[in-house]
A and B are shown apart, each in its own frame.
Chain A
Amino acid sequence: MGITFRKETFRDDFTFRNSPEHIRRFPFPFHEDSYMYAVNIEPHVVGPKGSVLENLIDVDEHYVAEMQDRALVLAEDPLRCQSLPHMTLAGWDLLELLMEQQALGYPEHFTLTRDGDRWRWINRPLGIDDTFTFGDTSTLPYGPMEYITRQSQGDFCILDQRDGNLWMDAGMVTTQADWSLDFDIGMNFFEWHAPVPLAHEKGIFIRALKFLTNIQQGKPARRLNWTMTINPRLDTSPENYHKWGPDRTTVTPENVGDKVHLRVELQSFWRLPRSNGIVFPIRCYLIKMDELVTQPKWARRLHRVIRDLPEELATYKGLTRYRPTLVEWLLKLDDGSPTSPGFGPDSVF
């Protein structure tokens, strides 16, 4: 069995699509008909079979295509992957975590064999079979963080914990929602979140930091975040904003369903054992409006959320230009009937 990996692109001709099963497992982020920031952090435990939480590190039908897109981004701009000198140990921690989790969840695709510090890693979808010495960087083609995150979906930030704060001192960031690792590397938790409106005033980050610095080994946590993207583009970096920004002017009532995508980040937080750092995987899920509205509850709810979103948030998330067109399109799918509580579509797994 195993996953059938799609051949698709996240640029140029944008052939990205979700299969019907993947539409139903999409992590829809709104549990009610409105949205405001909250410290919505919960324990990262395994969820229902068939959901994106079936495994703590999720691999899906977009895996191979996403890894190809990442390789293209890195070839253009190697600064998307950086690690300050003291973070190598944390990189090994991350390599162990991702190899173990992927091998555990998808044994038909990944195999990890350990004999002391002699490790063998087989990644069948990408055709990789490497034997290396754990802890010895010279035995891998890249540093440990870069090596494993070229083979793992989602962005990864590694945070060093010191002086009661978290410091973004390493990361692989190629599928980000408009923030720059190259600019933010070395910043503390409050500094790299500085541009986020409203949440500072609400004390959100102070409470979130207190929670995150107390994350314990073996007890990861998670939260969802969201934004919207025009075209299924993974690389919406500030570096390339002048290249993808014009997409936002191309939305018309005729193409909303195909062009506008809800972009959901499943963020999880894990204590790393050797370095005592925290890794923060940011897994990005895209769904186009045509796909999303196949679930009537989601269509109704998304209409209400986008319509009522505070102006500052709409600006921060870059929706201003096409929000009226989107709301008008979604209105036709909202008969005003109530939505059931919870995230899932009305037809549950």
Chain B
Amino acid sequence: MAAKSIISRPVYGTLSPQAGKHHLFVADAEGALAIIGMAKNAPAGFFDGAEIVFIPGPDGKHVGSLEALKPAQFHLAPSFASLLPRLKQTLTNAHMGLRLYLSGTEGLIGQAMQVALEAGIDHTSMQTEHRGSLARRMQCVHCKGITENVTTQPATCAHCGLLLLVRDHYSRRLAAFQGVCINAEDRSEIPPMEEIFR
């Protein structure tokens, strides 16, 4: 995590079991470890009312460990885009008392939170835990295009090609950090590109 940042930079916690009737987990890759860690503190029968939706990482790990928690429902998805229809449907039919737990990469947490916000869940009531890559989703403030998996500072916009300073300023609504042209005043100034969001 960046040591000194600004207030709009999301702060992630550690998943903890909440009071509620139903528990929905959305995780990717190493986010599984956050669920497994939390399970140690969960009351007996907690996972009887739980659904876990998991996007495994490239190594395919953790699927067995999650299944071993015996959630009422377990679903594997190859990508966030592929689980989106299911997630939306679940939230549309859900009742108050559903608690949401998001763990894994910032991109996954941000995008799942975006869907949940639209479904009427307040962001402060969601549990989040960051695990794995620090790669960022970035919105170019100029052309509005989103660039996924940004690891460098500055970064090139995948849409308009401007060289962007990746700020810590973050929008929950867009699930993205802000990218602003780094050499707008003098395009001949080209700062070195460093790999810093890993």
Verify whether A and B have any Cβ pair under 8 Å.
Answer: yes
Q: Indicate whether A242 sits within 8 Å of B7 (C-beta atoms), given known contacts A183-B174, A185-B173.
A: no
B169 engages A194 (CB within 8 Å):
yes
Which residues of chain B (129-159) have a CB below 8 Å from chain A? 139, 141-142, 144
Considering only CB atoms and an 8 Å cut-off, how many residues of chain A contact the other chain?
Answer: 26
A288–B180 CA distance with the chains assembled, in angstroms? 27
Which residues of chain A (236-282) have a CB below 8 Å from chain B? 238-242, 245-246, 248-249
B75 at interface (Cβ–Cβ under 8 A)?
A: no
A190–B7 CA distance with the chains assembled, in angstroms? 7
A245 engages B7 (CB within 8 Å):
no
B8 at interface (Cβ–Cβ under 8 A)?
A: yes
For B184, the closest partner residue in chain A by CB is A245
A241 engages B171 (CB within 8 Å):
no
For A205, the closest partner residue in chain B by CB is B7
Q: Which of B174, B181, B186 contacts A241 (CB 8 A)?
A: B181
Residue numbers in B under 8 Å from A240 (CB-CB): 142
Looking at B6, B142, B174, B185, which has the most chain A CB atoms within 10 Å of its CB?
A: B185
For B174, the closest partner residue in chain A by CB is A183
A241 engages B184 (CB within 8 Å):
yes
A238–B6 CA distance with the chains assembled, in angstroms? 18
B144 engages A182 (CB within 8 Å):
yes
For A189, the closest partner residue in chain B by CB is B7
Q: Chain B's nearest CB lies how many Å from the CB of A196?
A: 9
Interface of B, helix, strand, loop or mixed by DSSP: loop
Residue numbers in B under 8 Å from A163 (CB-CB): 124
A31 at interface (Cβ–Cβ under 8 A)?
A: no
A246–B185 CA distance with the chains assembled, in angstroms? 4
For A244, the closest partner residue in chain B by CB is B184
B184 engages A183 (CB within 8 Å):
no
A173–B54 CA distance with the chains assembled, in angstroms? 40
B167 at interface (Cβ–Cβ under 8 A)?
A: yes
A79 at interface (Cβ–Cβ under 8 A)?
A: yes
Q: Which of A194, A200, A238 contacts B141 (CB 8 A)?
A: A238
B171 engages A183 (CB within 8 Å):
yes
B186 engages A239 (CB within 8 Å):
no
A238 engages B185 (CB within 8 Å):
no
B9 at interface (Cβ–Cβ under 8 A)?
A: yes
A60 at interface (Cβ–Cβ under 8 A)?
A: no
Residue numbers in B under 8 Å from A246 (CB-CB): 184-187
A135 at interface (Cβ–Cβ under 8 A)?
A: no
A65 at interface (Cβ–Cβ under 8 A)?
A: no
Residue numbers in B under 8 Å from A225 (CB-CB): none
A241–B180 CA distance with the chains assembled, in angstroms? 8
Residue numbers in B under 8 Å from A339 (CB-CB): none
Residue numbers in A under 8 Å from B173 (CB-CB): 185-186
Q: Indicate whether A187 sits within 8 Å of B171 (C-beta atoms), given known contacts A180-B141, A242-B181, A246-B185.
A: yes
Q: Indicate whether A248 sits within 8 Å of B178 (C-beta atoms), given known contacts A182-B144, A183-B141, A186-B172.
A: no
A249 engages B186 (CB within 8 Å):
yes
A239–B141 CA distance with the chains assembled, in angstroms? 5
B55 at interface (Cβ–Cβ under 8 A)?
A: no
Q: Chain B's nearest CB lies how many Å from the CB of A244?
A: 8
B162 at interface (Cβ–Cβ under 8 A)?
A: yes
Residues 49-91 of chain B, each 1 if its beta carbon lies under 8 Å from chain A, else 0: 0000000000000000000000000000000000000000000
The 3 lowest CB-CB distance pairs between A and B, nearest first, are A245-B184, A194-B8, A194-B6
23 CB < 8 A contacts A-B: A79-B144, A163-B124, A180-B178, A183-B141, A183-B169, A183-B171, A186-B173, A187-B8, A194-B7, A194-B8, A194-B168, A195-B8, A239-B142, A241-B141, A241-B142, A241-B181, A241-B184, A242-B142, A242-B181, A245-B184, A246-B184, A246-B186, A246-B187
